[in-house]
Structure 1
Amino acid sequence: MTNIKLIKKLTITTILAAISSSANATYLENTQVKYGGYIKLDTIWSDYSDSSEDGSVYDGLGRDFYVPSTTPVGSGVNNPDAVFDMHARQSRFNFSTLSKLDSGKSIKTKIELDFIVSPGGNERVSNSHAPRIRQAFITYDGWLFGQAWSNFQNVSVLPETLDFVGPAEGTIFVRQSQIRYTTGGISLSIENPESTVTVNKSRIETDDASLPDFNAKYTHKSEWGHIAVAGLIRQLTYKAQGIDTDETAYGVSLSGRINVGKNNFKFMLNQGSGLGRYVGLNIAHGGVLTSNNNIEAIDSTSGFLAYQHNWSTQIRSTFLYSFIEIENDINLLNLTGDPTQSSISYSANLLYSPEKKLTFGIEFKHANREVESGLEGDLNRLQFSAKYSF
Structure 2
Amino acid sequence: MNARTLRKPLALAIAAALLLPGTAFAQTAKGRANKELELEARIAQLEAQVQALLGAQQQQQAAIAQQQGSIAQTQAQLDAVQVAQADGKPKIQSTPILASGNPDARFSFGGFIKVDAMATSTNAGEIADGSAGRMFYLPSAIPVGGADESRTDLDTHAQFSRFWFASDAEVQGHKARAYLEFDLFGGGMANLGNQASTNTHGVTLRQAYVSWDKWLAGQTWSNFQDVAALPDAVDFVGPTEGTVFVRQTQVRYTNGAWSASLENPQTVVAGYRSTSRTTSDDGNVPDITVRWTGKGSWGHVSVAGIARQLRQDTATTHASGNGYGVSLSGKYNLGQQDDLRYMLVGGNGIGRYVGFALGPDGTLDAASSDIEPTGVLAGFVAWRHVFNPKLRGNLMFSRAELDNDPAWTGLAVTKAAQSIHANLIYSPFPKLDVGAELTWGNRELESGADGDLRRVHATVKYSF
TM-score by length of 1: 0.91
Equivalent residues of 2:186, 2:202 under 8 A apart: no
2:180 is the alignment partner of 1:111: yes
1:274 is aligned with what amino acid?
G
CA 1:246–1:167: 2 relative to 1, 3 Å: same
The structural deviation recorded for 1:81 is 1.2
The equivalent position to 2:284 in structure 1, one of 210, 218, 235, is 210
1:307 is aligned with what amino acid?
W
The equivalent position to 1:198 in structure 2, one of 270, 293, 296, is 270
The equivalent position to 1:122 in structure 2, one of 182, 194, 202, is 194
Moved more, 58-67 or 140-149: 58-67
Q: What SS does the aligned partner of 1:332 have?
A: helix
> For residue 25 of structure 1, what is the aligned residue in structure 2?
92
Equivalent residues of 1:51, 1:57 under 8 A apart: no
2:260 is aligned with what amino acid?
L
1:71 is aligned with what amino acid?
I
1:129 is aligned with what amino acid?
H
Equivalent residues of 1:24, 1:36 under 8 A apart: no
Question: What is the distance in 2 between the residues matched to 1:133 and 1:118?
Answer: 11
The equivalent position to 2:115 in structure 1, one of 29, 33, 41, is 41
The equivalent position to 2:222 in structure 1, one of 147, 150, 155, is 150
> Deviations 1:6-54 (Å, cap 9, x if unpaired)?
xxxxxxxx99x969x99593350411000010001001110111214xx
CA 1:307–1:83: 2 relative to 1, 3 Å: same
Structure whose CA Rg is larger: 2
The structural deviation recorded for 1:339 is 0.6
Sequence identity of aligned pairs in percent?
Answer: 39
Equivalent residues of 2:186, 2:203 under 8 A apart: no
1:99 is aligned with what amino acid?
A
Question: What is the distance in 1 between the residues matched to 2:92 and 2:306?
Answer: 37
1:150 is aligned with what amino acid?
S
2:351 is the alignment partner of 1:276: yes
Question: What is the distance in 1 between the residues matched to 2:187 and 2:398?
Answer: 26
1:105 is aligned with what amino acid?
H
2:283 is aligned with what amino acid?
A
Q: Normalized per residue, which structure has more helix?
A: 2
Equivalent residues of 2:186, 2:201 under 8 A apart: no
Question: What is the distance in 2 between the residues matched to 1:353 and 1:324?
Answer: 32
2:243 is the alignment partner of 1:167: no
Equivalent residues of 1:50, 1:80 under 8 A apart: no
> Deviations 1:226-250 (Å, cap 9, x if unpaired)?
1000000011111114111211100
Question: What is the distance in 2 between the residues matched to 1:137 and 1:283?
Answer: 27
**Structure 2 unaligned residues grouped into runs of 5+:** 1-76, 97-102
Moved more, 113-122 or 103-112: 113-122
> Deviations 1:305-325 (Å, cap 9, x if unpaired)?
000000001100010001100
The equivalent position to 2:376 in structure 1, one of 297, 300, 325, is 300
Question: What is the distance in 1 between the residues matched to 2:213 and 2:148?
Answer: 59
Equivalent residues of 1:51, 1:58 under 8 A apart: no
The equivalent position to 1:325 in structure 2, one of 398, 401, 405, is 401
Q: What SS does the aligned partner of 2:409 have?
A: helix
Question: What is the distance in 2 between the residues matched to 1:23 and 1:94?
Answer: 17
CA 1:122–1:25: 2 relative to 1, 3 Å: farther
> For residue 153 of structure 2, what is the aligned residue in structure 1?
83
The structural deviation recorded for 1:59 is 4.9
CA 1:287–1:62: 2 relative to 1, 3 Å: same
TM-score by length of 2: 0.77
Q: Tell me the C-alpha RMSD between the 2 structures.
A: 2.0
2:180 is aligned with what amino acid?
I
The equivalent position to 1:288 in structure 2, one of 326, 346, 363, is 363
The structure, 1 or 2, with the larger RCO (C-alpha pairs under 8 Å, 6+ apart) is 1
Question: What is the distance in 2 between the residues matched to 1:185 and 1:333?
Answer: 40
Moved over 6 A (4+): none
Paired positions, count: 369
**Structure 1 unaligned residues grouped into runs of 5+:** 1-13
The equivalent position to 2:429 in structure 1, one of 349, 352, 355, is 355
> For residue 59 of structure 2, what is the aligned residue in structure 1?
none
1:62 is aligned with what amino acid?
G
Question: What is the distance in 1 between the residues matched to 2:91 and 2:277?
Answer: 44
1:108 is aligned with what amino acid?
R
2:299 is the alignment partner of 1:225: yes
Question: What is the distance in 2 between the residues matched to 1:79 and 1:241?
Answer: 44
> Deviations 1:85-104 (Å, cap 9, x if unpaired)?
11000000000010121x22
2:155 is aligned with what amino acid?
D
Equivalent residues of 2:179, 2:207 under 8 A apart: yes
2:377 is aligned with what amino acid?
T
Question: What is the distance in 1 between the residues matched to 2:129 and 2:166?
Answer: 39
Question: What is the distance in 1 between the residues matched to 2:263 and 2:435?
Answer: 36
Equivalent residues of 1:57, 1:81 under 8 A apart: no
